[in-house]
Chain A
Amino acid sequence: MRFFKKYFFLLTLLIAFTVKSQTKTITVCNTCDVKSIKDGIDLAQDKDTVLVKKGIYNETRIFINKSIHLIGENFPIIDAENKTDSVIAVKAKDFSISGFRIKNVGLSYTKEIAAIYTSHCTNFTISNNIIENCFYAFIMQRANYGVLTNNKVNGHAIVETSAGNGFHLWKCKNMRIEKNTISGMRDGIYLEFVNKSFISHNKSENNIRYGLHFMFSHHNEYHHNEFKKNGAGVAVMFSKYIKMHHNTFHFNWGTASYGLLLKEIYDAEIVDNVFEQNTIGINIDGCNRITYKNNHFVRNGWALKFTGGCYKNIFEYNNFMHNAFDLSYNSRLNDNEFEANYWSEYTGYDLNKDGIGDVPFRPVKLFSYVVNKTPETLVLLRSLFVDIINFSEKVSPVFTPDNLKDKKPLMKPINPIQLN
């Protein structure tokens, strides 16, 4: 009996192994039996692995329609030689692609072509790829439960009309875009109709249009991303219930640059972000019920610029430091609440030493009101005359909204950060 037991165990082990070995690994290399990735994929079945060894593969239109793992070893190069076809196109579920270096996808004005193009995919991982000089890097349409992580995208975009996006997602759900680096594309990350997704720890810089651009994408969370030196900063539009926290928006410094452009965003939370040296820190256009908390606005042209009706927004515990204008406001009506922020321009006193200034602070200066009406007067920035009229307006407000004030301005900055 004991003898039998022992062998039964071995037998089960053996069966387990044979079952396992049914999922095979197909190796592709220049000296192997299988010389092209396409052939490797043709040979593979569901749950197989296609292992591509180091080398150069001049292939496009690699089509995956089964649940396989396509793995590159030591970054094999797939060179599209500027052909106008997507390099890898996928329509499958439960697959993964990792470890490739994909180069030179040609540009097309009629087709959407990408280094990796997926449509109708679920449960997949695309990781550790390097995409260079490609029209679009990743296009995902109607994807669900996908993870895009640790990819590097590097482009040489020059004009908007002939450039593609780094990550282009359309009608997706439950996606995770994490730890990617994107530079030199049109938009770093572009999301349209993408819901319930997480975008985190990405670095998007030197893109000619937006570092991050999303529209009609609800219930998403963006955190710990860095957006730097993008042509027009970050633009987010027509979305509800989004959370943006711990992001850094900096050096979006140019004639038409924003740190963050918000257009018709409702019920969002914008917390713990850093806005440093942007022409406009946040441009707020028609946004309601947004909570801004614990953000740092440092050395921006305008820290906040309101255009269009904005109601029921709450600004609390933010630091406004050394901005040319803290706030530009377009109407005389105010329904937004400013409370307990730190303003480096604040000159009031605190007699009872509770850390809260005894005189309310008015962030809208008369000059910023004038500039709003006639932008050309901006040449008077920092002139003595401007200081004088600002002072007189501060003493008795006539032009700026009377109730737009921080009743409890803080005397010291909150959680000061070390900036470079």
Chain B
Amino acid sequence: MLKILKYSIFDLLRSRWSYVYFVFYLILGFVLLFLNNDVNKAIITLMNIIIVLTPLIGTIFGVMYYYNSKEFTELLLAQPIKRNKIFIGQYLGVSLSLTLSLVLGIGIPFVLYGLFKSASIFDFGLLIVVGAFLNFIFVALAYNIAISNENKIKGFGYAILMWLFLAVVYDGIFMILAIKFQEYPLDKFALTSMMFNPIDLSRTLILLKLDISALLGYTGAVFKEFFGTSKGLLTSLFILCLWVVFPLLRIHLKLRKKDF
């Protein structure tokens, strides 16, 4: 597995897209800090971008890599290597190279602008962790879609739809339900619905540390308990882990029966 992982990473590092992605984040980081000159404010803007963009790029990269390396994968499958190891190795390769681009691309400008001296190092760390999680989650989801669809166009379509659903439509549905049922106590419903969407979950996780905690505590005791204590942070991180584990399990199950 390590060999395949190594091969995937080097393969991706040789490809242009990793560098484009890395340079994009690098420029973004520098521009944000140049315009704001305040690490704290830059983090909020950066969060908006990471929450939307990381899942999108993770999804597209994941699907693209699967379809592109399909022939090579089939060649590997002919060898006496376990299926699981091949796919998990590839998956980790893609996720790790994307995460590397993200961490370096954003980390370098922030470190140069004196991140270690500022108090917001914890917020920044959280942002990076969440970004990494989103990469792992969405590459896994994309792999799921790609494995289930032989047709490239269909696979791409479903992947983009999935991103659109989780990034935009889900929130819309939640809002409509919340307005429709506003007479009922909604705080538990609101919290659980945030758990079922990795994008929302990461957003709340970061806002927890920024501004949402005080605003939300205003609305009810459940929020106050969840957002006011470290319980919220731990629960959210744990559920993000589950969001990585479950798609991987599905890949594992799917691979057992799949006919190549």
Contact = CB atoms under 8 A, between A and B. Distances in A.
Residue from A279, A324, A373, A384 whose CB has the most chain B CB atoms within 10 Å: A384
B167 A384 contact: yes
Given A376-B187, A376-B190, A388-B168, A253 B214 contact: yes
B174 interface: yes
Interface stretch (B8-16, B61-69, B178-186): B178-186
A23 interface: no
Contact of A375 (B41, B52, B211, B218): B218
Given A379-B190, A379-B200, 16 more contacts: A254-B214, A279-B215, A279-B218, A324-B211, A370-B175, A375-B218, A376-B186, A376-B190, A377-B190, A379-B212, A382-B47, A382-B48, A382-B203, A383-B171, A384-B51, A384-B167
B122 interface: no
The majority secondary structure among interface residues of chain B is helix
B216 to A, nearest CB: 5
Nearest to B175: A377
Closest 8 CB pairs of A and B: A255-B217, A385-B171, A375-B219, A376-B186, A374-B182, A376-B190, A301-B215, A279-B214
B200 A383 contact: yes
A373 B182 contact: yes
Interface string A309-325: 00000000000001010
A349 B131 CA distance: 34
B179 A384 contact: no
A256 interface: yes
Query: Contact size class for A?
Result: 20 to 34
24 contacts: A254-B217, A255-B214, A255-B218, A255-B224, A279-B214, A301-B211, A301-B214, A370-B179, A374-B179, A374-B186, A376-B178, A376-B220, A377-B178, A379-B200, A379-B212, A380-B171, A381-B211, A382-B203, A382-B207, A383-B51, A384-B51, A384-B171, A385-B169, A385-B175
A385 B172 contact: yes
A381 B207 contact: yes
Interface string A250-279: 000111110000000000000000000001
Contacts of B179: 370, 373-374, 377
B48 A379 contact: no
Contacts of A322: 41
Interface in A349-375: 370, 373-375
A379 B217 contact: no
Contacts of B212: 378-379, 381
Nearest to B182: A374
A388 B168 CA distance: 9
Contacts of B174: 377, 380
